[in-house]
Amino acid sequence: MPELPEVETIKNELAPLVTGRRIKSVDFLWAKTLVSPSIPEFDARVTGKLVKSLERRGKYLIFNLDSGDSLLVHLRMTGSFLSGTGKSVPSGHTRAVIRLDDGICMYFIDPRKFGKFQLVDDLRVKALDKLGPEPMAASFTSAVLIKLLEGRKGPIKAALVDQEFIAGIGNMYADEILFESGLNPLRPSDSLAAEEMKRLYKAIKQVLKRAIENKGASISNYFRPGGEKGTAHEGFKVAHRKGDCPVCGGPIKRIVVRQRGTYFCPVCQA
């Protein structure tokens, strides 16, 4: 599913296309894509409004409008945006179409139909309020991570994918982060020594930074707004990999941690 690097890439590449443009219309081809308000109220509140800015919070895209409303979009498992000219719908999996005043369209593609739109008049909504700190923010320091880990029970893998712990990290990047920091995914979160926490902090920053630079990972359904794939997955050491560890040559193992498939090297992450 799209995680922080994928959503950040979509934000970076959509922003020049939507910022300063007015919304001509939004058509929902799958009505359940819109959580709230009703479609008639949504239309009344977004039609003709200018997109002031595009932000990301965790795995959410946030379209800020000049009316004070904000459109929250969660891509969930298979959501992506594709830009186009509006001449034809590019996919049978298109669930919504945002039409702008310059003729550009943003197609929301979502094969599994789990993605959601929500229009809010205050960003202090439950979904965002519950999110943990942004791992790429300057305010996210090693001291912040150490504080978060204090007294935390359960496997460190489960902590990393908990959006209330840290926002934006999902399954595949958690696996890569733990490999880079040399930590077994089953290690209790409160068992890490100071040096291990420092390695974990460094790995979080480095893995996410590389993935953003490589425009996200196209493991399955993710693509960029221009239709291109990301290449971050090409550098994965363990996530979604079968065969031998690229470092020690031992077999990569797959286990399940809190109902999530987890890839790791039992040797490098002993």
- The pLDDT of residue 114 is 97
Residue type present at position 223: F
Q: What tens digit of pLDDT does each residue of 109-168 get?
A: 999 999 999 999 999 999 899 999 999 999 999 999 999 999 899 999 999 999 999 999
The yes-or-no verdict on residue 29 having pLDDT over 90 is: yes
Q: What percent of the chain has pLDDT over 90?
A: 94
The yes-or-no verdict on residue 33 having pLDDT over 80 is: yes
User: Is there a catalytic annotation at residue 153?
Assistant: no
Cβ–Cβ < 8 Å for 19, 52: yes
pTM here? 0.96
User: Is there a catalytic annotation at residue 213?
Assistant: no
The yes-or-no verdict on residue 214 having pLDDT over 90 is: yes
Cβ–Cβ < 8 Å for 238, 252: yes
Residue 27: exposure state from Cβ atoms within 10 A (0-12, 13-18, ≥19) = middle
Comparison of pLDDT for 89 and 199, the residue scoring more: 199
- Cα separation, 181 vs 159, in Å, equals 15
Cβ–Cβ < 8 Å for 220, 78: yes
- The pLDDT of residue 170 is 96
User: Is there a catalytic annotation at residue 155?
Assistant: no
Active-site hit among 45, 59, 95, 99: 59
Per-residue DSSP letter, 187: S
Helix axes of 171-181 and 194-213: crossing angle, nearest 10 degrees? 130
Average pLDDT rounded to a whole number, residues 96-103: 97
Give me the domains of the chain, ranges plus CATH numbers. Answer: 4-124 (3.20.190.10), 142-264 (1.10.8.50)
- Cα separation, 8 vs 133, in Å, equals 15
Q: How confident is the model at residue 6 (pLDDT cuts 50, 70, 90)?
A: very high
Buried b or exposed e, range 28-45, using 16+ CB within 10 angstroms: beeeebbeeeeeeebeeb
Cα–Cα–Cα angle for 228, 64, 47, rounded to 5 degrees = 90
3-state secondary structure of 186: coil
Active-site hit among 3, 6, 8, 180: 3
User: Is there a catalytic annotation at residue 2?
Assistant: yes
| Greatest CA separation for the chain | 59
- The pLDDT of residue 168 is 98
Active-site hit among 2, 5, 135, 185: 2
Q: How many CB atoms lie within 10 A of CB 20?
A: 15
When the pLDDT of each residue in the chain is averaged and rounded to a whole number, the result is 96
In the chain, alpha helices (H): 4-18, 39-46, 126-129, 142-149, 156-160, 171-181, 194-213
Q: How confident is the model at residue 254 (pLDDT cuts 50, 70, 90)?
A: very high
The yes-or-no verdict on residue 195 having pLDDT over 90 is: yes
Any long-range contacts for 136-144 (C-beta under 8 Å, 24+ apart)?
A: 136/4, 136/8, 136/168, 136/205, 136/208, 136/209, 136/212, 140/166, 141/201, 142/197, 142/198, 142/201
The yes-or-no verdict on residue 88 having pLDDT over 90 is: no
Active-site hit among 22, 113, 260, 266: 260
- The pLDDT of residue 93 is 96
